[in-house]
Structure 1
Amino acid sequence: MQLINEVPPVKFEGRIVACEGDSNPALGHPIEFSCLDLEAPAVCKHCGLLYVQCHHH
């Protein structure tokens, strides 16, 4: 948990993010879809990565 907390939130431009844990399917986890409409970061329930929406105005 300490190592995952050191990873900064991933910035994403869309409203829905799909986390697979790793680009290699053998090392990842089942796809977790998260909505980024809230101000708080979305947390993947499998790996703990944080995602935030990057607003480009």
Structure 2
Amino acid sequence: MQDTSKKSPMELINEVPPIKVQGRFVACEGDSDPALGHPIEFICLDLAEPAVCKCCGLRFVQDHHHH
């Protein structure tokens, strides 16, 4: 039987808030430790909704600073 009290990997990654970055593009490696990460995934942030890394599921949004 499967333990339903534990969260799935997708539930856990969805708990991580979108990461705010400056600029239109971000390079996701999954983790700062190369042994725990994935190949670099370049992600465009032109859309209004968060962009999702297709390797690890982290979400990114463009941080618009208003001066």
* Alignment TM class, shorter chain as reference: over 0.9
- Residues 1-57 of structure 1: matches in 2 within 5 Å? 1-57=10-66
Return the letter of the residue paired with 2:45. L
More strand by share: 1
CA shift, 1:14, in A, is 1.0
Q: Which runs of 5 or more residues in structure 2 are unaligned?
A: 1-9
Larger radius of gyration: 2
Q: Which runs of 5 or more residues in structure 1 are unaligned?
A: none
Return the letter of the residue paired with 1:36. L
Question: After TM superposition, which residue ranges in structure 1, 4 or more long, deviate above 3 angstroms?
Answer: none
How many residues get paired?
57
Q: Which has the higher contact order (CA 8 A, sep 6+)?
A: 1
Report sequence identity in percent: 77
